[in-house]
Every structure is written in C-alpha cells, then in structure tokens.
A = this chain, B = another copy of it.
C-alpha cells in the first residue's frame, strides 16, 4: 500500500527572529518596524522562488480563514491583522509559505502532499541558509535560535505529518500507539491544531522538543516513527478488510454513493464519507485519485467554499455548494 494513502501531508516549519527587531508581541501598531521583517524575508525569497505577498489587513475574513483552513497560515497570524503578512510560493514552490510577524518574526514552512518531511526540510533549509546570510538572526550559542515561546528554542523546527489512520482507529490500537509516540519525544494531536479532537481518522504527529537534537536527527526520528505507524496501519486495514469484508465494502461504497448523489452535505458528513472513500481507495475497491480527494477535502471547508462562491454563504448554501463540488469532482469517468 502506497504511504501516500496514509500520510496526507508532510510539513516542516522553522521559527526565526531578527536580532535587531522586537518580537511581534511587542510590535502592536508599529507598522514600520513590522515592515522591516517583511522586507528582509522578501529579499531572501527574491533569490529563491516566485511568490505572492498577502498582508493580513488587505484580506477579508473569508480569505484569511480560507488560508488557515489550507494550513498556509495559522490562527495566530490572523490575530496580528495589523502587522501580519504571508509570502506564498507559487508555481513549483507552491508548498512554501513564510508567515511574517506571527508569534515569531518569521515562520518559514513547507507543506507537501503525502510522505515527504525530508523534502520539506530541504526546502525550508534553503530559505534558512539564505536568511542567515542576509540578516542577523537572534541566536544564542547555548540555547540555539531564540523564539517567542520557549517550546521552540533550539532548532526552532517543527516537523509534522498528518496521518489518516482508519485501520488503527478501528482496531483500537491507536490508543497504545498514541501513548508510545507521546512518550518518545514526539506528540500526536488532532489534525486541526492543538486542543481540537482528531476527526476523519486524522492525526498529526510532530516533534515535541526542538532542542538537544539537530534538525537532521529530528527529521530522521520523525520518519522512523511514521514508517512504523504506516506499517501498523497497513496491517490494520488489511485485517479489517479480511474480517468484515462485506460490511466494510458496504460502508465504503455507500459513502461513495452518498457523495456522488447528495445535493446537500454538511462538513461533518462529508468528512465521514470522504474518509471511507479514501479507505476504499487504499483497499482497491475504488479507482480514484488520492490527490483529487485531498484537494476536494480542502475545497470543501467552510471558508474555502465561501472563497470559491465569492461571498459569505450561510450553512445551507455551503452544504449545497459542497455537494455540487463533490459531484463535479468525485467521479469524472
């Protein structure tokens, strides 16, 4: 089974701060100083890739939340409406985004579909090297990179993967695995950030500590854990299918039928059915493109629907547009 049917996205982000500028929490209202950070980041990006810049105060609520839903920006950046901005890579660098004046001056991240934290690290690492040659970054020889929150001190790096784990959730093994991961220096949480509950069988695994290990060692450690979880997940899916083949096929094919024919579909119901369809794909029951399903999942989030619809939509309108989007894309053959 392809690991991309388990690892939904891989992501690496680095937190960096300029030595000469106060931390963003001290910047409130001071646009000129904030602009210094943005300009420094732009100078770096100019040498690396093509990009767009979005200042938070130029975006509508819908646009901001739509970017957050797609994990391009964080909730924290939205809070800094006055000074926050984001540089978004385009073309080949689509997965790269640099948040400006979030909790730290610079949060450089790379997100990729599927299994690829190492590739993500390589992308942000290039940015990091250029940044160091362009400006003086806040760094302490004992603590490493200095960050607004002490949990990011050291490498300032967070490597995370979003995992789709229906098999381990079904067998219940997930409980043991979460315990094991949490005691290994990595951490598991719901896919949509701290404190939210895992839904759609999605779990985000990331390194808990950013200090005491090199970036490369952290990436290697995350990959070892992900590989183990993937192996266990594959076994769990196959054993589920072997034990309850008709029941599972029924559940999956019904979900496909509902997605294909419904005219109104809520966010929660969509997640339930698309998860079943993704499971069916991995078991060879359905012949669909996993990237299309993941793109669809992004598109079907509330603010992304409004963004697509070009205006604020109420719940019923969103449920209707969601169903239309799904019908248009789920089964083109």
Q: Which of A18-26, A255-263, A293-301 contacts B (4 or more CB under 8 A)?
A: A255-263
Chain B residues near A259 (CB-CB < 8 A): 257
Chain B residues positioned under 8 Å from A249 (CB to CB): 263
Q: How far is the CA of A124 from the CA of B246 in the complex (A)?
A: 47
Q: Is A12 an interface residue (CB 8 A)?
A: no
Contact code string A309-328 (vs B, CB < 8 Å = 1, else 0) = 00000000000100100000
Contact status A253-B246, CB under 8 Å? no
- Chain B positions within 8 Å of A260 at CB level: 257, 261
A323 B258 Cβ-Cβ under 8 A: no
Q: Cα distance A257–B249 when bound, in Å? A: 15
Residues in chain B near residue A320, CB distance under 8 A: 246
Taking the nearest CB of chain B, how far is it from the CB of A208, in angstroms? 42
| In the complex, chain B residues whose CB is within 8 Å of the CB of A254 | 257-258, 261-262
Please tell me if A250 contacts chain B, counting CB pairs below 8 Å.
yes
Copies in the complex: 2
Please state if A253 and B247 are interface contacts (CB–CB under 8 Å).
no
Interface flag for A271 (CB, 8 Å): no
In the assembled complex, the Cα of A250 lies from the Cα of B264 at a distance in Å of 6
* Contact residues in B for A258 (Cβ distance below 8 Å): 254, 257-258
What's the least CB distance linking A249 to chain B, in Å?
5
Chain B residues within an 8 Å CB radius of A247: 264
Interchain nearest-CB distance for A285 vs B (Å): 10
Partner of A257, one of B246, B250, B261: B261
Least Cβ distance of A276 to chain B in Å? 11
A259 CA to B250 CA, complexed, in Å:
11
In the complex, the chain B residue whose C-beta lies closest to that of A285 is B263
How far does the alpha carbon of A262 sit from the alpha carbon of B263 in the complex, in Å?
19
Name A248's closest neighbour in chain B (CB-CB). Answer: B263
Q: How far is the CB of A323 from chain B (nearest CB, A)?
A: 7
9 closest Cβ pairs, A-B complex: A257-B257, A257-B261, A250-B263, A253-B261, A250-B264, A249-B263, A254-B262, A257-B258, A246-B263
6 contacts between A and B (CB under 8 A): A246-B263, A246-B320, A250-B323, A254-B257, A254-B262, A258-B258
Q: Which positions in A face B, CB cutoff 8 Å? A: 246-247, 249-250, 253-254, 256-264, 320, 323
